[in-house]
Chain A
Amino acid sequence: MQTFFIIAILTLGFLVTFQIAKASEYVAVLRGEERSRKQSNKINGFMMLIFLIVGLIGVFYCNEKLKGKILGAADSDHGVYIDRMLYITLALTGFVFFLTQIALFLFAYKYQESDKRKAYYFPHNNKLELIWTVIPAITLTILVGFGIFYWFRITGDAPSNSMVVEVTGSQFKWEFRYPGKDGVLGKKYFKEINDAKSNPLGQIWDDPNNHDDVYATGELHLVVNKPVKMVIGAKDVIHDVGLPHFRMKMDAVPGTPTTMWFTPTKTTKEKRIETGDPEFVYEISCDQMCGKGHYSMRGTIVVETQEEFDAWMASQKPQYVRAFPEKDPSAKPVADTLKPVAQLAPAMTTGGSH
């Protein structure tokens, strides 16, 4: 019913507008087209000025209203660079924006048609054109210079003391793998993926590096002030690891692993105190269209101290042990050792061929 009313009102409004428009055209023809053209020219010229003034106020109003709703200061070292670059660009483009928009609408208002003035024949001026070729070129060189400087810092090799974590996207969840004590992620192969056999990432079990790798889903744990290198992949379609608070982003592409690294600079707890929001949480968003659940593909990150991280890690069981409970060193030794070997055999052959 409401929809019906809205449509009815729009239709009615349209009919009224149309009748007025038609009538004004008749009036214009009666009064002389030239005269009414000049009159509406004045109105539109005045509107140019009004639009400029109201528009500029609107820009400031919008900023006042929304600036508190965007992200606060970046919570990673790279994020600081990115924010700085953003503000340098904002300052330069902001200046150009006001200069050109004011000139545009002011000229439109000031040089509206008048019987007293004749247009000025001004087809070209090499000096002027040279000025506004060279100045933008210099400005952009500065922006490119800063940009590439930060870009290489951000995309350069991760420090050698980085922790490594693997992030895997699939419709519509995030999965993580920590390398365990050896610090090395074991090999994997997508044809080994088998949820029923507790191998969601396709780890090749005959690679000993896999035996201490820890698997987790949904929540990722990171250590504050310690660089983290993410090895990113996807199982089905392209996803994207989006970390707005750290200002980082990298596609997760099936078949082509990607990497990114950064250093988180605040723990979740510190951030909760700082924002006064006890429920604050770092989120991982999927930023690449990945299907009907794209908008809900959410992961979270807990940034904590090294001690907290170690304690948490100690409570985790390697996925190898979950896949083969009998191999758990903390559990009782199982008498029948033949069974796991039989289970291992096919994995070994497939793994070996790759």
Chain B
Amino acid sequence: MSEAMHAHVEAATGHGVHHDEHNGHGHHHQSFVSKYVFSMDHKTIGKQFLITGIVWAIIGGLFSVLFRLQLGYPGQTFPILETFFGHWAEGGIIKPEFYYALVTMHGTVLVFFVLTAGLSGTFANFLIPLQIGARDMASPFINMLSYWFFFLASVVMLASMFVQTGPASGGWTMYPPLSALGQANDGSKIGADLWLISMALFIVSSLLGGLNYISTILNMRTKGMSMTRLPLTIWALFFTAVLGVLSFPVLLSGAVLLLFDRNLGTSFFLSDIVVNGEILPNEGGSAILYQHLFWFLGHPEVYIILLPAMGMVSEIMSVNSRKPIFGYMAMLGSLFAIAILAFLVWAHHMFVTGLNPFLGSVFVLLTLLIAVPSAIKVFNWLTTLWRGNIRFTPGMLFAIGFVSLFISGGLTGIFLGNSTIDIHLHDTMFVVAHFHIVMGVASMFGMFAGIYHWFPKMFGRYLNTTLAYLHFWVTLIGAYLIFWPMHYQGLAGIPRRYLDKSGWHSFNQFGDLDKMITVVSVVVFAVQLMFVFNFFYSIFKGRKVTSTNPWGATTLEWTTPINPGHGNWEGEIPEVHRWAYDYAKDGRDFIPQTEPIGNNESAH
């Protein structure tokens, strides 16, 4: 039985997994297509996710710059917009329909395509086999499918931006009835169907990937790599995958039911509706049901985005402080606690939907509980820095930035998670500021940290460090300039998604602030483009890596050749003898995981 399976894996993947005989030299005859396009090498698939994610990040980021132009300069004309967007920006002014399409696509693209696929897709693929000591994923073929389903989802989403009535524009959460009724919103015509189909494909991709990550981590660790010797990156990616596998199917059910309501005349989410004078026949549905289905994914999704960043930050921070991560077991336990609680807090997005107040109070308790493991993580990161010998590599800078942003955005979460305060702040700019700092920018920082840290392993070259420093400082300062004052707009009660506040008496006092935020976001976006340039330039022309272990790290990926082939290690996969964080132990700078425990070594 096991031999048959073995043979099957070999046939499917085209490379041997016999650890003993493998020598890493058997793959010189791959065609361009099988090496770079339909590749089954986890490293190439990781890079495919990363590059697709970067392309989406540019699109999603550009959208935010466009709608910031409207927010900062309402009423002003930008003729260049008409040149590019035609009737969507007639006379150089962004139309409300266009504005809402931009906002919706910005959210969808950044949350799902960049920070889910681009972040965990990239690093789960790239790091899991390398850090646990495996030649590839459990199923390289399914892994390849995972990327191509993501690619298909991308194509459908991109196509939706070019249809006559525009892409989905009911907000990234796509609440029905707005998203169900074409009569109520142009974006809810064909655009919404395409959005739902794209998300369905995306969910398939995410599930294929997630199952693979879980089975790889559980089954394919090298000799000696017990679960508690895994680097925290792997633990974080493991919990991320579990969250995705358990919650994405619920969103799929929501998306499918919404497709039914839209196209088959069902009434899952629709009831008592008169739209533009037209009385609809639907009765008995519940619009709130969709919100439960959405947020049952939607909240774990926040942690799907955040956990990989936490894991990578833990790893990078330890390496560059030249110190073990403080409280490995506590870090692991808090990851576990966050993963469990992630499933039990979804209704805190729904405190003002008419939810039963008692139910609301339960969700307050569970939501604020998350602050405990989060606090443990923050204090442990701080203690990791304490009495370290810190090297400010670009990866390390972004890791420190991540912690700062995670603190700032996490603390404002304590306001919103408390239903009493949420009544006032719900759906205001305070929420926008909160989740952009804690989930958006912080996770972006985790992703940048990961890219800067593992770029040498991915491409055998370094990114330009001067540009990296500039990238870090401008982005950190910019992020705070954009989102910190935005909290005050929320405290003033300004609702989200208001593209022009001039008609209001209460909301019209922040003109200068809005201008400042817009200018800063243009600068920050320009610096991100500079990073993208640095990324692609350095792939081909960057300074070459000359040693296999440039950061002096203990983990297994740095025992592979500078440019590892398919199969990762030439010869045998190394055996692991210790945990991943023996830095500064017994007077030694670091001890690789592959080194056997010495006779006189102190226990930790």
Contact = CB atoms under 8 A, between A and B. Distances in A.
B421 A235 contact: no
Contact of B493 (A58, A255, A257, A285): A285
Pick the most buried of A28, A128, A285: most chain B CB atoms within 10 A of its CB.
A285
A132 B419 contact: no
A198 interface: no
Contact of A97 (B285, B354, B411): B411
B182 to A, nearest CB: 11
B253 interface: no
Contacts of B587: 118
Nearest to A100: B407
Contact of B484 (A24, A62, A71, A121): A62
Interface string B81-94: 00000000000000
Interface string B312-330: 0000000001111111111
Contact of B488 (A66, A97, A118, A147): A66
B594 interface: no
Interface in B497-511: 497-501, 503-507, 509-510
A24 B177 CA distance: 57
B326 to A, nearest CB: 6
Interface in B48-81: 78-80
Nearest to B369: A140
Given A124-B327, A129-B376, A151 B361 contact: yes
Contacts of B488: 62, 66-67, 69-70
A92 B390 CA distance: 30
Interface stretch (B28-36, B156-164, B273-281, B445-453): B273-281
A156 B361 CA distance: 12
Given A96-B411, A113-B391, A254 B418 contact: no
A37 B501 CA distance: 49
B505 A280 contact: yes
Interface stretch (B113-121, B122-130, B468-476): B468-476
Given A123-B324, A151-B420, A152-B361, A244 B492 contact: yes
Contact of B414 (A62, A89, A296): A89
Contacts of B327: 123-125, 129
Interface string A72-83: 000000110110
A338 interface: no
Contact of B427 (A81, A245, A288, A293): A288
Interface of A is mostly: helix
Pick the most buried of A92, A93, A137: most chain B CB atoms within 10 A of its CB.
A93
Given A3-B80, A117-B389, A100 B364 contact: no
B407 A256 contact: no
A154 B423 contact: yes
Interface string B184-196: 1110000000000
Given A22-B464, A93-B414, A151-B364, A107 B423 contact: no
Interface stretch (B215-223, B303-311, B377-385): B377-385
A63 to B, nearest CB: 8
Contacts of A288: 175, 427
B536 interface: no
B360 A155 contact: yes
A190 B272 contact: yes
Interface in B245-273: 270-273
A26 B584 CA distance: 32
Contacts of B324: 121-123
B341 interface: no
Nearest to A20: B466
A274 B497 CA distance: 30
A305 interface: no
Interface string A195-215: 100000010000000000000
Interface in B130-173: 169-171
A259 B493 CA distance: 20
Contacts of A10: 526
A347 interface: no
Contact of B286 (A121, A245, A255, A298): A255
B504 A283 contact: yes
A302 interface: no
Contacts of B400: 48, 104-105, 108
B421 A86 contact: yes
A100 B397 CA distance: 17
A163 interface: no
Nearest to A137: B372
B392 A238 contact: no
Nearest to B358: A152
B361 A119 contact: no
A220 to B, nearest CB: 15
A217 interface: no
Interface in B441-494: 464-467, 469-470, 473, 476-477, 480, 484-485, 488, 491-493
B597 interface: no
B492 A70 contact: yes
Contact of B389 (A119, A151, A238, A245): A119
A151 B357 contact: yes
Nearest to B370: A140
A294 B360 contact: no
A295 B354 contact: no
Contact of A293 (B96, B171, B321, B491): B96
B495 interface: yes
Interface in A226-260: 235-238, 240, 242, 244-245, 247-251, 253-259
Nearest to B412: A93
Interface in A95-151: 96-97, 100-101, 103-105, 107-108, 111-114, 117-125, 128-129, 132-133, 136-137, 140, 143-144, 146-148, 150-151
9 smallest CB-CB distances across A and B, nearest first, come from A244-B493, A255-B271, A258-B354, A155-B357, A44-B392, A21-B466, A119-B584, A120-B387, A255-B272
Given A82-B421, A123-B581, 6 more contacts: A17-B470, A71-B493, A107-B385, A237-B185, A256-B354, A292-B96
